[in-house]
Each structure stands twice: as C-alpha cells, then as structure tokens.
Amino acid sequence: MNLKFLETFVWVARLKSFRLTAEKLFTTQASISSRIAVLEGELGVKLFLRDSRGVSLTPEGVKVLDYAERMLDTAKALKQSLDGDRRKVGRIRLGVMDSVIHTWLSPLVSELMEQYPQVEIELVADTSLNLCDQLQKGFLDLILQTDLIRQASIRSLALASYPMGWIVASDSIYNREYSSLAELARERIVTFSKNSRPHQEVLSLLQAHGVDTPRLNCVNSVSAITRLLRDGFGIGALPPVLVSEELARGELTLLALAPQPPSVEVVVSWQLGVEWCDEVVALCKSVLVRYAQKVSAGQIVLAIE
C-alpha cells in the first residue's frame, strides 16, 4: 500500500477539502482525487462523502483513518531512527581473526560504513587468543574469533562454524588416496597458529588416531597457508570456505578422507555498555546469513536464525 496515498487520505480527512489538501501537498486536485480513488479501489470501500457542505468520512473511512495515522507514525519513527544512526559519530574498535577477514569481513564493513558513515572503524587483525586478551583488557569493543568468553562484563554469541577439511595442491604429490589419518600424518601438515583452538583440535584428532608426534606446521595467516598449499608445501588442515575460489578453479583439492578436523567456530564477543555494539552484533548476524547463502552448501553452518 502506497504511503503517499495514505498521507493524502489523512490530509483530506483533516482538512475536509480536496483543494486545501492539494495546496498542502503542492499538487493538483486531480492528483488528489486520483490517489483517493486508487486507495478506495485497493481497500474496496468508499472513504469520503461529498456534498454541498464539503467532504466527510464514511464509517469505513473513520476506521481506515485510525490505521492510516498509525502506519504513518510508524514510518516516520523508522525514518527518524535510521537518520539518527547515520548521524552518529565516534569510533568502534573491532578485532577480527583471519578466517573472518577472508570471508565476510568486507560486506560487514560495507554495511557499517553505509549505516554509520560518520563513525570511525578501527580494525585490528590478530589471532583469537590475542583478540580475547585485548577485549578483556578494554582495548577492543567487539571481536570475531573462536571462543565463548565467560566474563561478567562481556557477552558472547556463537554465529557459525566453518567445517574443516584436508586440502592439497591438485598437481602435488600429496593429491592421492590415504588409507588412514596415520598415513596422512606422515606428510607435512599446515594449519593455524600454534595453540589456537583449530591447531589444538587438529593435534588432538591426530593423537587420538595413534599419531604421537605429527608434523604440524603452524601459520597465522590464511593467505600464507593458501600460498604454501598452492606451491605444494604440504597438506592443509583448514576450512574449504577459505579457499573456495582455488577449489573452484581446480588449483586445490579437498581430500575425501575421514574423519575431517573439527570445525572452526565463529563467535562474536563484545563489551557490555559500549555504544553501538548491539547494533554491530545485529549487523554481523544479517551479513553472515547472506554470505552463507552465497557460498557452496555446507561450507558455513549457521548457529543463528
């Protein structure tokens, strides 16, 4: 239903005149009459009676007026709220792990810049361990990393998980069948930074399958891991979503070997009472949902509706 036509209806009801409404809205009487006719057609009722004394509402028009005024008030409040967001000034300090940087960080920052054009975005890229430490010390307002933080002044929300896989260069000696994890672990394995949650879980998985001292090479950069794998350096333990383009081009291959490493969790954590954090969390949810719809099925598993 056209809000402009509802506004026209409300002004005719208030001014009791098509002529005065036309002057108020800087248009013609013919245009006012046309809008009312369209509105009456949509609703299937007659809204006004015209006689020698002027214009008056029909019983149905009285009912419609109440709803129309509420709808216009709601639309006005929404616009004021959005305009208020765009006028906000200040700074938001965001900490982001590499896995988010290489997936949905760009659309998130784009949304932030669109909704809060006057707000300065201070972005810190680091490991989850360092980001958690900086958030707890108050150096950051909101972080995207792998762990739920249990602290009175901080809230955490699981957003999604990135399923992991064993990934190799398609033209490398590592692109072959393996009978077990123990056989795979005889080769060089490249994964996330030492003592990170993904690193610890890969280590635990291999040890649970009888590999006491796996050859794990820890790298704290997704770009560096990807380059090493493309150059045939070893077998990567990382989420396929991080190298989706390389997989699509056939440069890298996902090995069909089970079990796969545990998924990488994506958690948003933020300081309570910090301005805009709730709004940024809501943006994180919506941006991630849209991003997950664009990537291949199963590459991102949402933990939110």
What are the per-10-residue average pLDDT scores of the chain (305 residues)?
84 88 87 89 89 85 88 76 60 92 93 86 92 93 93 92 96 95 93 90 92 87 94 95 94 94 95 84 93 92 84
Domain 3-87 and domain 90-162+264-302, same fold? Reply is: no
Three-class SS string for 95-118? Answer: EECHHHHCCCHHHHHHHHHHHCCC
Rounded to 10 degrees, what is the CA torsion of 193, 120, 87, 2?
-40
The tokens of 182 are what? 């123990």
- pLDDT value at position 86? 52
Query: How many Å separate Cα 233 from the centre of its chain?
Result: 34
Tell me: domain 90-162+264-302, CATH 3.40.190.10, correct?
A: yes
Is the domain spanning 3-87 CATH 1.10.3720.10? The answer is no
The pLDDT score that the predictor gives to residue 84 is 54
Domains of the chain by residue range: 3-87, 90-162+264-302, 165-254
Type of residue found at 14: R
The pLDDT, as a whole number, for residue 237 is 95
What was the pLDDT predicted at 305?
64
Sheet holding 165-169, edge to edge: 216-218, 189-191, 235-238, 165-169, 252-254
Helix axes 105-115, 59-87, angle to 10 degrees: 110
What does the pLDDT read at residue 89?
A: 62
* Domain 165-254: CATH architecture, name and number where available: 3-Layer(aba) Sandwich (3.40)
